[in-house]
Amino acid sequence: MKKLILVVLSCAFLMPVFAQDDANANDAGEVKKEKKEKKPSKVGNFLRRVGESATGINMSNETFVAIAFEAQQMVEFAVQSCTGDPNTGTVLLTLTAKAKKNGVKTNLGKRVNNSDYVTAYDAKGATFEGKEVGSYTEIGRKDNPAGVPVQYQFVFSDVPTTVVQIEVVQVEFYIDSNENHIGSNMSSVEPMQVRNIPIAWGALE
């Protein structure tokens, strides 16, 4: 009888201990699972960026540049800033062109006849024509040393301050190198598209 009582007491003592161990194990598993779920997918982000650049289709609300594959092989384009003056409705967009090798020259925003061709669209489809800053009348291809971001600036007028983001800017381009050349202003190649550009009103440089 005494042995039976000891066995019962031992089981009663050990059951809460095992239950606590199981609870701790479950909690640890949940924490690991939560951390695993929160870990961002680098592969997914990379594939999204490649898809956006290749197709021009928005897969997120991040700023990105879509341009022909041959152009991507020679130059990397990016948005440096987009600022607006609320008093005048003027928006200044600054892009950079960084060559991936030496011997590259670029020309943005010009057609063959040297007319400006830079058009911005807001979310409602309103359009704003842009002009390149400091280069209204002369045709010029800029030298692009490898690895150095070269600036292009475009100004848009009469933009309402209610426009907080430019949905897309279409820019004619021409890229020339020692081995190859490509341009939207002399062929059936589509203009470069820059998408999802927030406007920083009140920060005009």
* Three-state DSSP state, 122: coil
Q: What is the DSSP letter of 59?
A: S
* Full set of structural domains in the chain with CATH: 60-201 (2.60.40)
Q: What is the DSSP letter of 138?
A: -
Higher per-residue pLDDT: 204 or 103: 103
Residue 194 sits at φ, ψ, to 5 deg, of -115, 125
Q: What is the mean pLDDT of the chain?
A: 76
Helix (H) or strand (E) holding 49: helix 42-55
Q: What percentage of the chain carries pLDDT values higher than 90?
A: 49
When pLDDT is cut at 50, 70 and 90, the band that residue 151 belongs to is very high
Which amino acid makes up residue 73? Answer: Q
Confidence (pLDDT) at 111: 64
Residue 72 has pLDDT above 60, yes or no: yes
Edge-to-edge strand order for the sheet containing 173-176? Answer: 142-144, 104-108, 173-176, 181-183
CA atoms within 13 A on the CB side of 98: 9
pLDDT tens per residue across span 92-124: 999 999 999 999 999 998 765 555 689 999 999
Confidence (pLDDT) at 186: 65
CA dihedral of residues 128, 132, 138, 139 (deg, nearest 10): -90
In whole angstroms, what is the distance from residue 76 CA to residue 64 CA?
11
Q: What percentage of the chain carries pLDDT values higher than 70?
A: 62
Confidence (pLDDT) at 133: 85
Residue 29 has pLDDT above 80, yes or no: no
Strands 149-156 and 90-99: antiparallel
In whole angstroms, what is the distance from residue 69 CA to residue 187 CA?
15
In whole angstroms, what is the distance from residue 178 CA to residue 182 CA?
12
Helix (H) or strand (E) holding 182: strand 181-183
Dihedral sign (CA 123, 171, 188, 52): negative
